[in-house]
Amino acid sequence: MRLLHTSDWHLGRGLHRVPLLDAQRDALEHLVAVAVEHQVDAVLVAGDVYDRAVPPLSAVRLYDELLHRLADHGVAAVIISGNHDSPHRLGVAAGLIGRAGVHLRTDPADCDRPVLLEDAHGTVAVYGIPYLEPALARAEFGVERAGHREVLGAAADRIRADLATRGPGVRSVVLSHAFVTGGVGSDSERDITAGGAAAVPASLFDGFDYTALGHLHGAQTISDRVRYSGSPLAYSFSEAAHRKSMWLIELGPDGELAAQTVPHPVPRPLGRIRGRIDDLLADPAHEGLEQHWLEATLTDPARPEEPMPRLRARFPHLISLVLDPDPVPGDGATTYAQRLRGRTDREIAADFVRHVRPGSGPSPAEAALLDRALEAARVDTPRGGPEEHTA
């Protein structure tokens, strides 16, 4: 049995306001081409088809095109909902489109209802566990504590109970959208800790021939039989070093497993640069990054004038700018009272400007404006302070 494991398409998502729909279309066309070339029996999509519960129409159309292309080639698909998806919207007409070989698992109650695939060696039972929000799934699984480990463990136990009724020789595959201990996250995944401790142990999936995970955006191996495919595209600069890919899985007649990565096309590489603006504009070491999508972190003590247009003159695909000034040496004072002791109002105001605009105190015009404001405050404050005017 040959399976193609993918996840976290996040259709409709961009990268720092750069639209990615064309790149997502290329990634899905590549997925279909790989499925056809390798004659896979099924594509496994482990959640987060869309980036939000109500996706834009363009993303829905792209998803629809993908399903039609797979059906045209006779490639089955098993799809679960992730924490970004609306399970109800994604699962609309699941029974009908299942007849075309597209099997949706978005209802937790259906996690132990497998898709049964056949090859020359018998049956492979493919189970889908959609993302389980603990507070919502607790009643379905009858667990005492609303935690990720509890509800996912109960779902896995249901699957084992069903698998035990299938007889000997039936191989098993499970799709799940979860944060499994040992996985490495990135900045672009939505936090799921609101439902209790996010990470669950990989041992929850013991006994299954393969577990196709979604949620984390980097392709990674938790164990030989438990893997994340990662997202087809980078959705944050924390993924700049990722090599986006899918897993091509082969299950032998007795559950033997072989896995190989199939790289995704890269629409434009990501890169990060850091330093003072004059150095970034002049350093020849950055020549190889000039056509990358870039995030620049500026360490100038004071914010440079018009940093984005200046940097884009060299790096036209700069899309993220971060200010992280180098620390300015202090006077050694450790407390607020120590920093104020013996200083005039004018000096304190100037220090505040220097603090919020590191390394750059007030200009002469700003200093004059501060003097006028301080003088006005003195004139408006009655002698003796407010306590002399209380009733």
Question: In a 3-state reduction of DSSP, which class is residue 89?
Answer: helix
SS3 for 377? helix
The pTM score is 0.83
Average pLDDT score over residue span 286-301: 96
Q: Provide the β-strand partners of residue 318.
A: 294
Q: Which helix (H) or strand (E) holds 139?
A: helix 134-141
User: 210: which residues sit within 8 A by CB, 6+ positions away?
Assistant: 3, 172, 173, 174, 225, 227, 249, 251, 257
Q: 3-class DSSP state for residue 304?
A: coil
Contacts of residue 363, Cβ cutoff 8 Å, sequence gap at least 6: none
Count Cβ atoms below 10 Å from residue 307 Cβ, excluding itself.
17
User: 3 is written with which tokens?
Assistant: 């399976």
Please report the pLDDT score of residue 195 as a whole number: 43
What digits encode the pLDDT tens for the residues 238-256?
999 999 999 999 999 999 9
Residue 355 has pLDDT above 90, yes or no: no
**Section 310-329 average pLDDT:** 91
8 A C-beta contact, residue 40 and residue 75: yes
Q: Is the pLDDT of residue 157 over 70?
A: yes
Q: How far is residue 112 from each of residues 105, 116, 128, measured CA to CA in Å?
A: 10, 12, 8
Per-residue confidence (pLDDT) for residue 358, from 0 to 100: 56
Residue 38: C-alpha distances to residues 4, 32, 123, 250, 260 (Å) = 9, 10, 20, 11, 12
Q: Which residue has the tokens 């096309």?
A: 265
Q: Grade residue 329 by pLDDT with cuts at 50, 70 and 90.
A: low
Quick check: 122 pLDDT over 50? yes
> What are the tens digits of pLDDT across the range 34-75?
999 999 999 999 999 999 999 999 999 999 999 999 999 999
- What tokens were used for 269? 């590489």
The answer for residues whose C-beta is within 8 angstroms of residue 293's C-beta and 6 or more apart is 15, 18, 268, 269, 270, 271, 317, 319
DSSP for 195-253, written as a single string: GS--EE-GGGGTT-SEEEEES-SS-EEEETTEEE---SS--SGGGTT---EEEEEEE-T
Q: Stretch 179-208: mean pLDDT, rounded?
A: 82
Provide the pLDDT confidence category of residue 353 given band limits of 50, 70 and 90: confident
